[in-house]
Structure formats: C-alpha cells, structure tokens
Amino acid sequence: MSTSTKTAASAAARSTGRSAAPARYSERVRAERRLGWLLAGPAFVVMLAVTAYPILQAAYDSLFNYRLTAPGERSFVGLGNYGVILTDDLFWRDLGVTVLITVVTVLVELVLGFALALVMHKALKSVRGLLRTAILVPYGIITVVSAFAWFYAFDINSGYVNNWFGWLPGIDQDLNWFADTGTALFVIIASEIWKTTPFISLLLLAGLAQVPDELNEAALVDGATWWERMRRVILPNMKAAIMVAVLFRALDAFRIFDNVFIMTGGAYGTEVLSLLAYRTSIGRLEIGLGSAVSVVLFICVLLICFIAIKLFKVDLAGARGGKS
C-alpha cells in the first residue's frame, strides 16, 4: 500500500468516520477505534442490558394472559391486553391525571425556576453561595421525604395548614385535603414542584450564562427597560435552554410515582399511570396486563420526545453537550 493511499484513507476516515472497511485505515486510527470501544463498550452494554432487555421482555410478556399466581394458565392473547387497557375508563382517567400533573408542574416550575435562576445569576457575591446551597437542598432531598413533609403539614390529624390558613375561604379545621381529588392533587403537585424546581432552575441558569453580555449591555445603552431586555435579548438567546429544560422536566413529571404513592396511594382519583402499572404487576401480579401498561407508558414517553424534537426542534444532543 502506497503512502498516498494510506493518508487518503485515514483522511477519509477522519472526515466520514465510518464509510470504508476498517482494514484500510492506518494502524493508529484502528488502535484509536479499538480503544474507543474498549473504553465506551462496557458502559454501553450495561445501559442496554438494564433497559433494552427488560423493555423487550415487557413487550413480549404483554402479549400473554399471565398471572404469577397461576403460571400454568399462561396463554397467548396477542394484543388483547392492550385492548383491555385502551377500553378501560380507569386508564384514561389515570392518563388524564398524569397529563394534568405534568402540564401544571412544568408551567409553574418554568416560571418559578426562571425567577430562581435570575436570582442566582444576579445575586451579590455575599449571598450567592448561601442561595445556591439552599436551592440544592430540595434537589438532593429524597422525594419520599418531601412527600411525607408535605403530607404531614396538610394532614387533617398531624397538620397545621388548616390551622394557619383557616381565614381563607374553603379552608377550615375539618378540611381533609387527601379525601378529594382536587385538594389531594394540589398537595401532590406542590411537593413535586418544591422538589424539582431547583433542577429546572439550574438548567435555566446555565442558559442565562450563555446570553452574551455585550448584547445586554448594548440594549441597556440604547435605553431598553428591564422588560424589553428580557423579552428581546435574554429570552430569545435562551430558547434552546428553555426547551431542553421543559422537555426534561415534562418527561420526568410524566413518570411521577413517589409523591402519589406516599400521599394517597392513588385513592380518590389521584392515580397516575406509573402507579397503575405498579398496582397491576407488583400488587396484583398480573404480569401480562402490567407489562402492557408499562409498554403503553413507555410509548407515551417516546411520543412526548418525538413531538418535542420534531415539532419544537429541541436539539437534545446538542444542548446536552453532545456536539462532538
């Protein structure tokens, strides 16, 4: 092999990265590729093993009528389980509750998270550390602990909220927050918002840091008001960060489980899809039907992702540092 073809091949390898057969690459390029997969391979395989394998197994199990308590009666039902789910009112109600929680939490968190991000961004040096530390407490705290904290504060027996806010119309000593869909969802959503707003505000903080200072200063010199700068300079430059933050939180909120499980266990019309899947497969040991719910939930998440990427052009890979 002549030197010129060798350099041409390795140049081609660098520019296209994959097209030709490995044998034609230089020794150095091949060694680098081998090392690359040697280092990245284990993590890649583990990730696939702990998610791709189970979800395929779930897809397979969902085609059977299969109860763990009666394994001998396992029978193939095709898409029957999906038919059962999609014609069940309970599924649609749970889906509605899940979507409601997702939409409300993401909207509130976007506003609250942006305010917190602005505070952290602009804060005087003397309080910056303190503010960031405080904001990280809800981020790091266990969701179940957050759920109990909010639950005990509102609970009719151990709570003090009824006592404190008795002057508000609709709140009195006998208000049982967890015996009504609306009030129970209010507390569930409050706990969810408290716990996860720090995450969204840190994503937005990173976006704020990327807004070029010169633009902001130029607008200031031109006499733009705070609101004008926000709307014309800062927000447009943060669009990518906002989109990513919203998508990530939406996907996370859609999987909500812990808060609902602790506070109501899904009673009084507060059940969400994750809880339905849990109750069906782990609670009632209906592996076939539970797997079908799991697969439907997975498809919902894929759909949200697909819509965000296709419709709103959210570049997840680019925004998450994936440019390489």
Partner 1 sequence: MKTSAGRERAIWAAIAILVLLYALFPVASIFATSFKQPSDLTSGKFLPTEWVTDNYEQILVGNAQGLFLSALWNSVGIALIATFIAVVLATLCAYAIARLDFPGKRLVLTTALAVSIFPVISIVTPLFNLWRSIGLYDTWPGLIIPYLSLTLPISIWTLAAFFRQIPWELEQAAQVDGATTWQAFRKAIVPLAAPGVFTTAIIAFFIAWNDFVYGISLTSTEAARPVPAALAFFTGASQFEAPTGAISAAAIIVTIPVVLLVVLFQRQIVSGLTQGAVKG
The residue among 107 and 115 lying less far from partner 1, judged by its C-beta, is: 115
In the bound complex, what is the minimum distance in angstroms from residue 183's beta carbon to partner 1? Answer: 18
Q: How far apart are CA 71 and CA 164, in angstroms?
A: 54
Footprint on residues 280-299 left by partner 1 (CB under 8 A): 281-282, 287, 290-291, 294-295, 297-298
The residue among 2 and 128 lying less far from partner 1, judged by its C-beta, is: 128
Query: Considering only CA atoms, which of 123, 255, 138, 252 is closest in space to residue 198?
Result: 138
In the bound complex, what is the minimum distance in angstroms from residue 229's beta carbon to partner 1? Answer: 18
In the bound complex, what is the minimum distance in angstroms from residue 171's beta carbon to partner 1? Answer: 13
Q: What are phi and psi of 70, to 5 degrees?
A: -135, 70
The residue among 51 and 225 lying less far from partner 1, judged by its C-beta, is: 51
Number of residues that bind partner 1 (CB under 8 A): 110
Q: Which amino acid is at 311?
A: L
152 binds partner 1 (CB under 8 A): yes
Q: How far apart are CA 128 and CA 290, in angstroms?
A: 47
Footprint on residues 5-64 left by partner 1 (CB under 8 A): 14, 17-18, 29, 31-33, 35-40, 42-44, 46-48, 50-51, 53-55, 57-58, 61
Residue position matching structure tokens 């909207």: 107
In the bound complex, what is the minimum distance in angstroms from residue 3's beta carbon to partner 1? Answer: 21
236 binds partner 1 (CB under 8 A): no
> Which tokens hold the place of 73?
């009666």
In the bound complex, what is the minimum distance in angstroms from residue 24's beta carbon to partner 1? Answer: 14
In the bound complex, what is the minimum distance in angstroms from residue 160's beta carbon to partner 1? Answer: 5
> Which tokens hold the place of 61?
């199990």
C-beta contacts of 188-192 below 8 A and 24+ residues apart: 188/101, 188/256, 188/259, 188/260, 188/263, 188/264, 188/270, 189/101, 189/104, 189/105, 189/108, 190/150, 191/146, 191/147, 191/149, 191/150, 191/151, 191/259, 191/263, 192/101, 192/105, 192/253, 192/256, 192/259
Q: Which stretch binds partner 1 (CB under 8 A): 74-82, 84-92, 161-169, 214-222?
A: 161-169
Q: What are phi and psi of 71, to 5 degrees?
A: -65, -25
Figure out which of the listed residues 194, 224, 230, 237 binds partner 1, where binding follows CB under 8 A.
194
Footprint on residues 203-222 left by partner 1 (CB under 8 A): 203, 205-207, 209-210
In the bound complex, what is the minimum distance in angstroms from residue 134's beta carbon to partner 1? Answer: 4
Footprint on residues 302-321 left by partner 1 (CB under 8 A): 305, 316-321
Contact 295, 58 (CB under 8 A): yes
In the bound complex, what is the minimum distance in angstroms from residue 178's beta carbon to partner 1? Answer: 14
User: Strand, coil or helix: what is 258?
Assistant: helix
- The gap from C-alpha 161 to its chain's centroid, in whole angstroms, comes to 30
The residue among 218 and 282 lying less far from partner 1, judged by its C-beta, is: 282
Footprint on residues 72-101 left by partner 1 (CB under 8 A): none
> Which tokens hold the place of 113?
């998270």
Site string for partner 1, 116-135 (x = CB under 8 A): x--x---xx--x-xxxxxxx
